[in-house]
Amino acid sequence: MPALVTHYEFALRVFSKLKKAGIEVADREAALIGAQGPDIFFFHRVLPWEPGQSCVAAGQKLHRISPARLFEEFRRVLRAERRQPDRMLGYVEGFFCHYALDRAAHPYILWAQKELEKADPGYGKNAHQYHFRIESALDTLTLRRESGRLIRDFKLQAVLPKDHDGLYLAVGRLYQPVLSRLFGMDVPAEHLARAPGDMRHALFFMTDRSMLRQKLLFRPVEKLTRGGHFATSLLRPLNTGDWDYANERHAEWKNPFDEDYTSTDSFFDLYDLAANEAADMIVEFVGALSGDRSMQEITQDRGFSSDLPGVYELKD
């Protein structure tokens, strides 16, 4: 799946597209948190000094469930909400951006990580390190393409707004009944609300604009442990010319969930198509809040990873 800067820039593209059509997102700050989707839980209580049980598992489960079912649960909560309806709706609108880009791009990235492993077999010890390297490079490429900015001038924390006036709590209150109904997870809303802030804290340490952390800390530790690029694969590179990360040469690739599904689209071809789909799904979801139109119809239930209806997880 694409990484945090790419999701941020993608959401801004979708918000602009909606605005040109005369539509404003319900709450822009909440929507920017939503644009990171379930990924916020990958940072929940993961730093050693953060007390309390981590909900990393929630991020994994949310990526592997039926999207139609998930958005049905979001709608259920929004219909009952009286205190922060705009905040919660804004979050879900941003979440549609995350979902649309994930499902469009993830099959390509899964294919690309295997190709990169063939091209550079000494880089990583597992597939995740190649996956993260591609995502990090795409962040650098997307930031330059969408905004003209260089990654060395970008603070990663900027992708998420700071908490104020119950912003993070609205996210926790949205998720508490959703996680309970879908997965039987009994977690207080206040604890779930820590996820966006925890992500901001982690992004402070992941920002390496001078590349000094990579040179002086992370790479020496990686060499000492011989574990591959388990840390530096998560850092955004200043230069991306060492490999065709975005498939700008339009090589043919296959969807690993269905190898009869082939394409020569670049990452940015997929990105542009997904932006149109995200805008359409947001408009359709808002229109369905007071009706009975199914989320199956709106999303086609295309999996986060597969982009195929009803296919949610790659089976080895």
pLDDT tens digits, residue range 24-68? 999 999 999 999 999 999 999 999 999 999 999 999 999 999 999
Mean pLDDT of 279-288: 98
C-beta separation of 123 from 231 below 8 A:
no
User: Which uninterrupted H or E stretch holds 1?
Assistant: none
- pLDDT tens digits along 111-127: 999 999 999 999 988 89
Predicted TM-score (pTM) of this structure: 0.95
What pLDDT, on the 0 to 100 scale, is given for residue 220?
75
- Higher-confidence position of 112 and 211: 112
Report the alpha-carbon angle 151-155-156, nearest 5: 90
Distance CA 50, CA 294 (A): 40
Q: Is the pLDDT of residue 100 over 60?
A: yes
What pLDDT does residue 205 have? 83
pLDDT at 226: 74
Say if residues 25 and 33 touch (Cβ distance below 8 Å): no
272, burial (CB in 10 Å: exposed 0-12, middle 13-18, buried 19+): middle
The answer to whether 2 and 102 have CB atoms below 8 angstroms apart is yes
What is the model's pLDDT at position 159? 97
- When pLDDT is cut at 50, 70 and 90, the band that residue 315 belongs to is low
Task: Check whether 72 has a pLDDT greater than 60.
Answer: yes
